[in-house]
């Protein structure tokens, strides 16, 4: 071969090297990019009874289909699959039961070229339907709206796809301050297509679903613990309203509901008393000045080391010290983005989720070595104690029997880095390909309980350390400026009489009228003689004798417990023990 040929051959090899075909890392990266580019998006709905991570684990285990990536958009989880065949196989699982609900699995189609125009039409629709004076958003008879009809035929199916887009636009529009929503006359059979309403307007006061086709009481479970301030609900002219038990079931889902279909279902003054603490909230509580000094110094020393170098904390733990962690993802979050708990689940000792005695035992760290190993499994954190002390609350008191004291610390923190040792890798082989999506770092809240006892040389030892991790929540529960203890003002029933229209009558509700705004109705004390069956009257009589509550509070207690005697006594005992029941609730 000539020198020239050899030179060309060498150039060929050099070009191969320059193109990095022989670099295995680049080959893997290119393969991953190709996989992402060809991934098929599929949407999963009806999963809100559990966490996103639990849903992904369920799908991976049940279907044996590899999930490339995942993301959450409101009440929809978007999963990326390798190809159309995997997407078709996953869609076949639509309807499978998960966390008490039926999953709805559909393929996501990319928006058409007219998507920009569609968004403009939807924005104009919202502006036309919003009344700033009453803070009401009128979403009734969507299918009959002339402007929306220009987008094409509006069927129930297309409405369910349009509604999430409307809600996202509404949530992103700061000028829309909504207290009342009217969704009447939309042929709704359930809440599946409108679940995002609770995310866009979590503080909604009034809602009308009149003149639809909702037939199952359980449909409302999708909004359980969602509308915590909902005061009035209209379900008139739905099949559901013919169910004799629907009122009690509806009240279970909305703890502050006062008006249902124009009828007063709860005494608002009593509800306000129940939900008010008997004492003002306090950000800090210390048994005495010495305990205040000791506990404050301890936390100011502990948290910075926890955030920077946890190994330096090991001198505070003895061979008999114990540490355990509980991850509770079930607590409702104040954040729009759902928290990920993938790093915590493998080491969590949540007794409601972990039933195996052996697993419970292995997830308690005893002694500095085991405790530090667990510390290394926890993400790196930052507690803004110095910058934002209002985000933290602390109580501390003595334990005289052991000459020690306890510190209960509450607050929020930022996850700033992955743990030194990933518990998902150290606890055994991966169960699925979705671990990366369940370990996204985010802000979280926590509760931590220290039991501190005297140590050698006049120091202290942490005998017990219990850490509970939960979704991010605000600090309003200990905001003293917003705390108002005691009963509601005696004139509270008429406080908004000059500014708030009176609630609608049952006849108005049946006609599909919107709910009234947030006025407080004048409530007459219920009369057990004319309102209740003989069986219920006997129930009330027995409950009143047992609790010594007057008639109003006895009825309230019975309704809160859904006429379950044992539950009534349990609720009464709990509130009575904390002093939450006012004196005027008892018979004189």
DSSP string, 151-198: TS---HHHHHHHHHHHHHHHHT-TT---SEEE--SS--SSSGGGTTHH
Q: Which helix (H) or strand (E) holds 470?
A: strand 460-471
CB atoms within 10 A of CB 158: 16
CB atoms within 10 A of CB 405: 22
Homologous superfamily of the 115-274 domain (CATH)? Ribonuclease Inhibitor (3.80.10.10)
Contact 201, 229 (CB under 8 A): no
CA distances, 419 to each of 104, 262, 416, 443 (Å): 35, 54, 10, 15
Q: Within the chain, how many helices (H) and strands (E) appear?
A: 19, 21
| Enclosing H/E stretch for 85 | helix 84-91
Res 2: pLDDT: 41
Pick the CATH number of 526-588 from 2.40.50.140, 3.40.50.300, 1.10.8.10, 3.40.630.30: 1.10.8.10
Report the distance separating Cα 460 and Cα 407, nearest Å.
13
Q: Which two tokens stand for residue 391?
A: 């985000």
Closest residue by Cα to residue 250 from 230, 269, 268, 270: 230
Cα–Cα distances in angstroms (integers) from residue 566 to residues 251, 534, 539, 542, 546, in the given order: 19, 19, 11, 12, 11
pLDDT for position 26: 53
Enclosing H/E stretch for 395: strand 393-399
Q: What is the Cα–Cα distance from 111 to 132, expressed in whole angstroms?
A: 31
Q: What beta strand segments (E) does 205-245 contain?
A: 206-208, 232-234
Phi, psi of 325 (to 5 degrees): -125, 140
Question: What's the pLDDT at 426?
Answer: 61
Q: Which of 240, 236, 466 is nearest to 374 (CA)?
A: 466
pLDDT of amino acid 518: 40
The answer to whether 149 and 125 have CB atoms below 8 angstroms apart is: no
Cβ atoms of 230 and 257 closer than 8 Å:
yes
- In order along its 588 residues, the chain shows pLDDT tens digits of 443 444 444 444 444 444 444 555 554 455 455 555 568 899 998 887 778 888 998 898 889 898 888 888 877 899 998 888 888 899 989 888 887 788 889 888 665 444 556 777 888 888 888 888 889 999 888 888 887 777 664 555 556 667 788 888 888 887 788 999 999 988 888 888 888 888 888 889 999 999 999 988 888 888 887 888 899 999 999 998 888 778 888 888 888 899 998 888 888 888 877 777 666 778 899 999 999 999 999 999 999 999 999 999 999 999 999 999 999 887 766 655 567 888 999 999 999 888 889 999 999 999 999 999 999 999 999 999 988 889 999 999 999 888 899 999 999 999 999 999 988 876 544 444 333 346 788 899 999 999 999 988 778 899 999 999 999 888 877 877 665 544 333 333 333 333 333 333 333 333 444 454 443 332 233 344 456 776 777 788 788 888 888 888 888 888 888 888 888 888 888 788 777 788 888 876
Q: Name every residue whose Cβ is closer than 8 Å to that of residue 420 and which is 6 or more positions away in sequence.
A: 376, 377, 380
Residue for token digits 């697993």?
359
Asked if domains 41-110 and 284-482 share a fold, the reply is no
Residues 6+ apart with CB under 8 A from 89: 63, 65
Domain ranges of the chain: 1-37, 41-110, 115-274, 284-482, 526-588
- Give the total residue count for the chain: 588
Long-range own/partner contacts, residues 361-367 (CB < 8 A, 24 or more apart): 363/324, 363/325, 364/322, 364/323, 364/324, 365/322, 365/323, 365/324, 366/319, 366/320, 366/321, 366/322, 367/317, 367/318, 367/319, 367/320, 367/321
Of residues 258, 34, 76, 279, the one with CA closest to residue 161: 76
CATH number for the region 41-110 comes to 3.30.70.330
DSSP 243: S
| Domain 284-482 belongs in CATH node 3.10.450.50 | yes
């Amino acid at each position: 071969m000539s020198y020239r040929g050899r030179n060309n051959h060498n150039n060929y090899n050099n070009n191969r090297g320059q193109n990095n075909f022989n670099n295995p890392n680049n080959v893997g990266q290119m393969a991953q990019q190709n996989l992402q580019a060809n991934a098929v998006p599929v949407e999963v709905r009806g999963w809100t009874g559990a966490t996103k991570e639990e849903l992904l684990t369920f799908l991976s285990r049940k279907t044996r289909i590899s999930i490339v990536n995942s993301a959450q958009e409101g009440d929809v989880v978007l999963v990326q699959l390798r190809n159309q065949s995997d997407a078709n196989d996953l869609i076949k699982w639509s309807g499978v039961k998960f966390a008490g609900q039926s999953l709805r699995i559909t393929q996501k189609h990319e928006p058409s070229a007219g998507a920009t125009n569609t968004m403009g039409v939807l924005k104009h629709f919202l502006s036309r339907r919003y009344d700033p004076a009453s803070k009401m958003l009128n979403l009734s008879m969507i299918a009959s709206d002339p402007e929306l009809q220009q987008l094409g035929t509006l069927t129930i199916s297309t409405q369910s796809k349009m509604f999430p887009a409307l809600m996202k636009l509404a949530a992103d529009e700061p000028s829309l301050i909504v207290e009342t929503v009217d969704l009447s006359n939309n042929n709704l059979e359930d809440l599946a297509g409108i679940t995002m309403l609770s995310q866009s307007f979590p503080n909604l006061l009034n809602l009308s679903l009149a003149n639809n086709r909702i037939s199952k009481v359980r449909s409302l479970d999708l909004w359980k613990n969602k509308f915590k301030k909902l005061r009035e609900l209209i379900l008139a002219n739905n099949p559901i309203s013919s169910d004799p038990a629907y009122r009690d079931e509806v009240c279970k889902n909305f703890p502050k509901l006062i008006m249902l279909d124009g009828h007063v279902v709860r005494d608002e003054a009593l509800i306000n008393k129940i939900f008010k603490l008997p004492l003002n909230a306090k950000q800090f509580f210390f048994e005495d000045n010495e305990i205040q000094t000791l506990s404050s110094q301890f936390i100011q020393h502990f948290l910075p080391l926890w955030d920077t170098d946890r190994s330096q904390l090991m001198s505070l733990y003895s061979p008999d010290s114990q540490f355990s962690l509980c991850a509770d993802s079930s607590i409702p979050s104040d954040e729009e983005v759902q928290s990920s708990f993938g790093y915590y689940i493998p080491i969590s000792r949540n007794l409601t989720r972990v039933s195996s005695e052996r697993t419970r035992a292995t997830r308690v760290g005893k002694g500095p070595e085991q405790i530090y190993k667990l510390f290394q499994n926890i993400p790196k954190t930052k507690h803004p104690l110095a910058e934002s002390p209002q985000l933290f609350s602390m109580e501390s008191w003595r334990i005289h029997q052991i000459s020690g004291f306890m510190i209960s610390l509450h607050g929020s923190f930022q996850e700033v880095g992955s743990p030194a040792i990933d518990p998902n890798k150290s606890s055994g082989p991966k169960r699925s390909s979705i671990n990366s999506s369940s370990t996204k770092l985010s802000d979280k809240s926590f509760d931590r309980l220290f039991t501190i006892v005297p140590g050698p040389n006049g120091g202290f030892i942490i005998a017990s350390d219990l850490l509970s991790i939960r979704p991010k929540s605000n600090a309003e529960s200990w905001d003293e400026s917003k705390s108002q203890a005691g009963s509601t003002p005696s004139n509270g029933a008429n406080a908004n009489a000059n500014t708030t229209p009176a609630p609608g009558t049952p006849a108005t509700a049946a006609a599909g009228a919107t709910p009234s705004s947030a006025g407080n109705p004048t409530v007459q004390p219920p009369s057990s003689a004319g309102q209740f069956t003989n069986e219920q009257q006997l129930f009330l009589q027995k409950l009143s004798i047992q609790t010594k509550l007057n008639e109003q509070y006895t009825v309230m207690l019975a309704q809160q417990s859904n006429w379950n005697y044992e539950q009534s006594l349990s609720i009464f005992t709990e509130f009575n023990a904390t002093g939450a029941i006012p004196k005027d609730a008892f018979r004189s």
